[in-house]
């Protein structure tokens, strides 16, 4: 990145923060830069600076930028082997709790939330579980609340479900929507509250038994990762569980010593 480009990006992020309160200043620069390039292409302008007046004066354009920056890419039973490990290593502990509180932080369009709801149902835990599913991308949250997904992905999701150790058939959990969509069974969201929460600026969700924040920290720099990891530590009960994405880790973070590794390969941790 040239010095000028760096100055332009800093000005852009500052403009977004001052005008809309969204703070991307501590997002990892390499991936942010790629997404800014996408915005430049879509807006058909030729510099980072040229995005600034558009963002400041056009709220709809900013909404598009927000979607670009948020990367709500997800899938059902993503990394199925993680679910397999979770069933073996964490479910037995959860089975000993009279009630369970779970926070999906950065839930995107909700596929992870429905996947967990299915697993909890199959393990007989769903009815005593309260689930909070949060994201700062309103558009993604609306899709999550609806629970309507593309039929074209179902074959792939069914495969993931089986690899994840699913105990029934995936088709038990959805019904046909239009000709190209499926609707997740409403019972799966009975205990779920979908809510707006910004990990950069918002506070603790108290007394959680389990927090999942998978494939989110990867977009943050070290300083922001530490802020968010401290937020999770303060949101968990003693001996609560934390699950990160496969490319993320507590190594070299400020909370590394506060957690024990339950499944290092699948990034499952437990607060000491």
Three-state DSSP at 143 gives helix
Q: How far is the CB of 75 from ligand SAM (least distance, A)?
A: 6
How far, in Å, CA of 170 to CA of 154, rounded?
A: 9
Query: What's the gap between Cα 250 and its chain centre?
Result: 17
Tokens encoding 57: 């004066």
Residues 139, 195, 140: CA angle, nearest 5 degrees: 20
Minimum CB distance to ligand SAM smaller for 47 or for 234:
234
Number of Cα atoms under 13 Å in the Cβ half of residue 183: 10
Three-state DSSP at 105 gives strand
Q: Does 78 bind ligand SAM (CB under 6 A)?
A: yes
- Binding residues for ligand SAM restricted to 100-119, rule: CB under 6 A: 106-108, 112
CB 74 within 8 A of CB 111: yes
Q: Does 73 bind ligand SAM (CB under 6 A)?
A: yes
Minimum CB distance to ligand SAM smaller for 72 or for 240:
72
Minimum CB distance to ligand SAM smaller for 140 or for 271:
140
- Binding residues for ligand SAM restricted to 157-216, rule: CB under 6 A: 198-200, 214-216
Q: Determine which residue in the list 26, 36, 52, 74 makes contact with ligand SAM, applying CB under 6 A.
A: 74
How far, in Å, CA of 175 to CA of 184, rounded?
A: 7
Minimum CB distance to ligand SAM smaller for 29 or for 50:
29
Q: Where on the chain is the footprint of ligand SAM (CB under 6 A)? A: 70-74, 78, 106-108, 112, 135-137, 140, 198-200, 214-216, 219, 245
């Amino acid at each position: 990145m040239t010095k000028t480009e760096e100055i332009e990006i800093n000005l852009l992020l500052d403009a977004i923060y001052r005008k809309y309160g969204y703070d991307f200043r501590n997002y990892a620069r390499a991936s942010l830069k790629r997404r800014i390039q996408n915005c430049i292409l879509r807006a058909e302008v030729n510099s980072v600076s040229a995005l600034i007046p558009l963002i400041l004066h056009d709220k709809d354009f900013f909404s598009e930028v927000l979607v670009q920056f948020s990367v709500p890419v997800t899938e059902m039973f993503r990394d199925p082997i993680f679910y397999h490990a979770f069933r073996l290593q964490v479910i037995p502990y959860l089975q000993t709790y009279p009630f369970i509180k779970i926070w999906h932080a950065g839930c995107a369009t909700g596929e992870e939330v429905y996947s967990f709801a299915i697993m909890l149902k199959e393990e007989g835990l769903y009815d005593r579980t309260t689930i909070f599913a949060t994201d700062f991308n309103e558009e993604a949250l609306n899709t999550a609340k609806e629970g309507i997904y593309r039929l074209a992905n179902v074959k792939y999701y069914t495969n993931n479900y089986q690899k994840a150790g699913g105990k029934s058939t995936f088709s038990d959990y959805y019904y046909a929507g239009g000709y190209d969509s499926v609707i997740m069974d409403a019972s799966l969201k009975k205990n779920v509250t979908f809510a707006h929460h910004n990990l950069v600026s918002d506070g603790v969700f108290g007394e959680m038994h389990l927090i999942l924040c998978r494939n989110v920290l990867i977009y943050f720099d070290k300083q922001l990762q530490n802020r968010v990891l401290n937020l999770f530590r303060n949101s968990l009960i003693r001996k609560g569980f934390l699950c990160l994405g496969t490319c993320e880790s507590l190594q070299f973070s400020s909370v590394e010593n506060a957690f024990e590794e339950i499944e290092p390969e699948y990034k499952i941790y437990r607060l000491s």
